[in-house]
Structures are given as C-alpha cells and as structure tokens.
A and B are shown apart, each in its own frame.
Chain A
Amino acid sequence: MSTTPPLLRASGVTMRFGGLTAVDGVDLAVRENEIVGLIGPNGAGKTTFFNCLTGLYVPTEGAVLFAGETLPPKPARVTRAGVARTFQNIRLFANMSALENVIVGRHTRTRAGLLSALAHGPRYRREERESRERARELLDFVGLGGQADLLARSLSYGAQRRLEIARALASEPRLLLLDEPTAGMNPQETAETEELVRSVRARGVAVLVIEHDMRFIMNLCDRVAVLVQGTKLTEGAPGEVQADERVVEAYLGAPDDEEEPTPRSPQNRERTA
C-alpha cells in the first residue's frame, strides 16, 4: 500500500438523530486515484455517511479529514475544498439547460460578483467564456455534447445521471462521491457508467461510490467497504468481501426497505413537483 496520506480519512464518524444512531463509528479512507465502493443493505446508513462527508450533516462524533485538513461543516466549503457529489435521486436544475447545469457546477471555481456581472468587464467575459468552454468539454466527456442546450428535465434518465456527474466534475473535485449512480439503469447503461467512472479516475479524480449493483461494484472498485446497521462490517478487495459470509448474511437478513431512517417532518419535506 501507498505511504502517502489518504485523500480522505473518516475516523469514528457517528451520526445520531435523537435516539437513533444512523452511522456508528465508521472509519474509511480513500486514496488518490482510487475507486472505493461502499455497499450495504438498505437502511445501513450509507447515504447518511455520505452526507457527513459533504457537510450536509455535522457528525455527532468523529472527524473527516480531506487532504490532511478537517472538512468544514458547510457544503459550499466542502465543494470548494475539492469534494463533489451526485445524488441518489437525481437532483438536477430541471429547468436549466444541460450546459447551464454544468456551469453552475463551476460556481466555486469562478468569482464574478454582482458588480462585475453588471460591468461586464474583460475579466468577467473571460471567466464566462472559460466556464462555458470547460462546461462544453465536460459535456463532451460524458457524451452529452450534442444536447448542451436542452433543458435538463427533457433529457433521458441515463443522460440525466451523466449530466449530474458532469456537473459534479465541473467543480474540479479531487474526490467524487457517487450515490447509486446506476440505480434504475439497464445493463447497457450500467456498463457505460462503469466506463465513465473509470475515465473519471483517469482524469485524476478519486471516486467513492455507493451502489447496490454487486457486479458493478466488483468490476470497478479497488476496495469495498460494507456498512451494516450503521457500522462497518468489513473492508477489503472486492474478491475478499464477496467471499465474506457475514456480508451475504447481512444482505439476506435485512428485509428493511427504508434507505435512511430519518423521521420525516413537515419542515423539511421537499416539494413534490
């Protein structure tokens, strides 16, 4: 194994909601250029763990170090630090074009404020042009080059997933967190996504991926961690994990269907549009 410090090191991350412990003392490291899988039955706390990494939640206990520094508890600053994510249920800006979606992804890498937007100075125009070029390049990269001006909502399901990845890459992350990138995909789309994730790594971006599709995980990942009921059951090379009887047991013995055990409240319900 490498001697350089890992890109991401989560140690003892614990997240409690009231009396409920969703994530319990999880350690996990992701190194540069690595693809790490995070698997586990529904309700194991995978997404909650993700949210702790991206600053949406502040862990009750434990620490998350990114490139040797503590990650700030604000999503915006996490993105700036170099961690980008996609969402389990696609969350694009539905009424913006594909290109605009990706340009929004560049938010933390651009600086223009209100005044420079009003003034339209040469610096502002250069920044806009660069954003546009980068965004086009990323759309080409995920294979959406021809659909840049379509609204995100009119894209096909697979294209929307790829657009989400392009948008995340636009923030120039060093680590990309993918939350079930192949959910709802047919085998061919899944295979394409697998290729896409590999080429993301080829760009020098490490990937941490939550997935249920075992074949996808086993094909793709350098290392796999298994989360069961909020705790890390095991971690290792795909082959080892696959052979582990406890993992099989955990999957078979967990009929729970709720991904995240957070109680719903009227205050934070999403609009259902």
Chain B
Amino acid sequence: MTATDVLQLLADGLVLGTMYGLIAVGYTMVYGILQIINFAHGEIYMLGGFGALFVYAWVPGLRAVSLWLALPVLLVAAVVVSVAAAVAAERFAYRPLRGAPRLAPLITAIGLSLFLQQVVFNFFTLPGGSVGVTAPVPFPQLPGEPLHLGGVTLSHAALLTLVVAALAMVVLTWFVARTRTGRAMQATAQDPKTARLMGIDTDRVIVVAFAIGALLAAVACVTQGLRLGTISYNMGFIAGLKGFTAAVLGGIGNIKGAMLGGVVLGVAEALASGLLPHLPALHMFGGSVWKDVWAFVILIVVLLIRPQGLLGERIADRA
C-alpha cells in the first residue's frame, strides 16, 4: 500500500462522494421543508439514468456523433424524466397527505419507490431488445484515455462528476441565497405557516424543492452510468440509502452539509474497502461487498456522537 494508492483511494472516494452529495441535496431540501423522507428519491435518481439511455438508444443519429456532443441531450433527457416523475409524485402522492400522520407519507414513499422501480423493470425497452430490463444494461462510455494527475488516475466521467457537482453547489447556493424563490424556500423551511401568511406560495416552493432535487439526482445518475458503464433498475435503492445517509451525516436540512456528508461518506467507503484488506484483524471485511455495511456503521456512529450531523445546529426544543 503506497502513498499513491491511498491518494487514488481518496480521489475515488471524492468522486463517489460528490455523486452521493448530489443525491443527498434532494433529500435534504425536501426534508427541510416538509419533514418527510422522500424515500422514492433513489428511484427518481435511477429514472434519470434510464431517461438518458432511452433517448440515446432511440433518437436516430445520436449514437453516430461523439458522446461528448450527445451528452447535453442525454443530460436534458435525464433531467426531464426525473423532474417530471418527482413533480408528479409530489402532486399526486404526497400533496394529498399533507397534515396526515407521519407514517402515511413514508409508506406512500415506499410504495412509490417500488412502483417506479418496477415500471422500469417491466417496461423499459431498448431497440431490438425484449420488453423490460432484468439485468444491468450498458451505458455509453465517454471516449478518450483517462487522465493521470501525479500518479492518480481519473476517468473523464470522474472528472465530469466533480465539475458538475462543484457547479451545482455554486449555482444552488446562489439560488437559495439570492433569488426570490430561494428565499421563499428558506422561509418555508423555517416556518411554513408564517411563510404562507406572508404570501409565499408554499405549494410552489415545495414543487421547486422536489424539482431541484430530481434535477441533481438525474445528473448524478448519468455520471454514475458514465463511470460504471452500466445502470440497473434497482440501482436506486442503495443509492437512495447512501444519499439519505449523506444528508443525515451533513446535518439534514443543510444543503452544503449534504454535499459534505456525501464526500465524507464516499471517502470513508473507499478507504474502508481499500484499506481494511491490509489490516490483519479486519481484512476479511475489506472487500467491496462490505462497503455498504461500513457506510451504515458510519451513519450509526455519527448518530451516536453527533446526532445533528456535521453542519447541523443543535437547537432547543419548543415546548
């Protein structure tokens, strides 16, 4: 295990973590405003990847050009599909349940999650293929050799992930702090009742939160597909769990915290699966099959020692 190996692990973890962060933002924004875990967010993410793949496979000529040229089209397709699904879910599944006991939206979310996953499973079709996808399907790959930066190898897709995540955070921070809608969002998160009294259209704010979360998740899924080379109908389950874990790690309700939590989680996961095989006592638990286990162990440890998350504030309860 050389220093370069560790650097490589850190770089891989960073890339994976920013991807988690992009998913986590969706959880954190919706939770911040509605206090519901949009459990179906992982499936919204997955839909983005399949939306992109669908357009890539079915639009004639797209496969003839370089993927770099087709990429904007793929991203737009991914975003459209995810945002449409998220907005529809909000409108038809969650909104009727406002004010219902907490369990109701959570169970709806589970149902939604299974439903969306199975729709793809049963009906997604590629040209010349049979109806439905039971196994992972190939995702197009960016051409070109990977980059070598001081011993660390990064694929184009990995770099793209980092750039997109950085860009997304800058734009989002600006949006929330500077725009009318962004400030309305902050106000609604603070106190929905008062926000409504102040003339803020909270329904619209909620839709926007769902849409932004879906947008980032869709982009995250495209980068994931580009990096791994395949996407699958059930990829949203674990991704969603990781995204939520990242959001909790960072302090739920805090957008920057979501990204930070994602990075911490990604790096921890990469280090756990990369370093543990070299430890005598724990080497058995170092393989990649255990990385999800370590992610949850980290979550539980964080909840024990800092339940408000890394950037969350501890605020007194109201009586």
Using CB atoms and an 8 Å cutoff, list the residues of chain A in contact with chain B: 17, 47, 50-51, 56-57, 87-88, 179, 260, 262-273
Specify which chain B residues have a CB less than 8 angstroms from the CB of A56 in the assembled complex: 317, 319
Specify which chain B residues have a CB less than 8 angstroms from the CB of A17 in the assembled complex: 315-316
Specify the chain A residue showing the minimal Cβ separation from B307. Answer: A267
Contact (Cβ within 8 A) A268 B318: yes
Contact (Cβ within 8 A) A265 B319: no
Contact (Cβ within 8 A) B316 A262: yes
A117 to B316, CA, bound (A): 36
For the complex of A and B, the 7 pairs showing the least CB-CB separation, nearest first, are A266-B253, A265-B315, A51-B319, A268-B317, A266-B32, A264-B191, A273-B101
Tell me the smallest distance from the CB of B271 to a CB of chain A, in Å: 29
Specify the chain B residue showing the minimal Cβ separation from A88. Answer: B319
Tell me the smallest distance from the CB of A152 to a CB of chain B, in Å: 16
Specify the chain B residue showing the minimal Cβ separation from A22. Answer: B316
19 A–B pairs (Cβ distance < 8 Å), ordered by A: A17-B315, A17-B316, A47-B319, A50-B319, A51-B319, A87-B319, A88-B319, A260-B318, A262-B316, A264-B318, A265-B253, A266-B32, A266-B33, A267-B312, A267-B315, A270-B318, A271-B101, A273-B100, A273-B101
Specify which chain B residues have a CB less than 8 angstroms from the CB of A273 in the assembled complex: 99-102
Contact (Cβ within 8 A) A265 B313: yes
Specify which chain A residues have a CB less than 8 angstroms from the CB of B253 in the assembled complex: 265-267
Using CB atoms and an 8 Å cutoff, list the residues of chain B in contact with chain A: 31-33, 35, 99-102, 189-191, 252-253, 308, 312-313, 315-319
Contact (Cβ within 8 A) A264 B319: no
A269 to B316, CA, bound (A): 11
Specify which chain B residues have a CB less than 8 angstroms from the CB of A267 in the assembled complex: 252-253, 308, 312, 315
A268 to B313, CA, bound (A): 11
Contact (Cβ within 8 A) B252 A266: yes
A17 to B99, CA, bound (A): 29
Specify the chain B residue showing the minimal Cβ separation from A270. Answer: B318
Tell me the smallest distance from the CB of B106 to a CB of chain A, in Å: 12
A78 to B138, CA, bound (A): 63
Specify which chain A residues have a CB less than 8 angstroms from the CB of B317 in the assembled complex: 56, 268
Tell me the smallest distance from the CB of B88 to a CB of chain A, in Å: 24
Specify which chain B residues have a CB less than 8 angstroms from the CB of A51 in the assembled complex: 319
**Further contacts, 20 of them, CB under 8 A, given A266-B252, A269-B35, A273-B99:** A17-B315, A47-B319, A50-B319, A56-B317, A57-B316, A87-B319, A179-B319, A262-B318, A263-B190, A263-B315, A264-B190, A265-B315, A266-B31, A266-B33, A267-B252, A267-B253, A267-B315, A271-B35, A271-B101, A273-B100
